Amino acid sequence: MTLAERLRHALDAPAPEVVLLAGDERDAAFADPRPAVDAAVLVPVTDRPEPGVILTRRTETLKRHAGQVAFPGGRVDPGDADVVAAALREAEEEIGLPPGRVTVIGPADRYRTVTGFQVTPVVGVIPPDLPLEKREAEVADVFEVPLAFLLDTANHVEAAVEWQGRERHYYEIMWGDFRIWGATAAMIVNLSRRLRWTA
């Protein structure tokens, strides 16, 4: 079974007992009543004997989420056919990943951020060691983390911080000097729970 087939089978398999994270706001009383802005990110999994996942670190000069680790992605534009098209377009714009080199597995579980975005992660398989070119204005680093490391629940650390007068809980995953946290970590936690699969 190929990596793409394994991922597709794992995502398609019914998992009624899985508890997923729906968004940054876990308390319904504090949920943002405004309509969410649709966004999409690509989860590029490298097709290796030990698969990895491509992540980016955003530049420190951005107005939103400066310096944070993220999947390539962004808001869904009016010209995008769907979330898959948006994720592929953004990945090409941010890290020079040609859409034709991505075997799309499909959308995973949506996640709502505290900043008002409804983010759909789109899982895709890419060849290993593709030459990627980061968009300097947005992306400071492009790096790869082993998929098995990201899916290992032992690496999912729950943390809390005081924010706007109340305690906010989130997950973080440390990979060397890279701190993966917030929405990106939550989407990884959801993928780990959904896949229940050792890479």
pLDDT one-digit tens code per residue, 9-39: 888 876 667 788 888 765 444 455 678 899 9
DSSP line for 132-151: ----TTTEEEEEEEEHHHHH
Query: Can you give the pLDDT at residue 27?
Result: 47
Query: Can you give the pLDDT at residue 10?
Result: 82
Strands (E), the chain: 37-46, 52-58, 69-70, 73-75, 103-107, 111-112, 117-126, 139-146, 157-163, 166-175, 178-181
pLDDT one-digit tens code per residue, 103-126? 999 999 999 988 889 999 999 999
Computed on alpha carbons and rounded to an integer, the radius of gyration of the chain in Å comes to 16
pLDDT one-digit tens code per residue, 155-196? 999 988 765 666 677 899 999 999 999 999 999 999 998 887
* 54-68, 86-100, 135-149, 183-197: the lowest-pLDDT one: 54-68
Residue 71 CA to residue 89 CA, distance in Å, equals 13
Say how many C-beta atoms besides its own lie within 10 A of residue 85's C-beta.
Answer: 17
DSSP conformation class of 71:
-
pLDDT one-digit tens code per residue, 83-93? 999 999 999 99
CB 135 within 8 A of CB 94: yes
Query: Can you give the pLDDT at residue 195?
Result: 83
Report residue 149's pLDDT band, with 50, 70 and 90 as the boundaries. very high
Report residue 54's pLDDT band, with 50, 70 and 90 as the boundaries. very high
Structural domains in the chain, CATH included, are 3-146 (3.90.79.10)
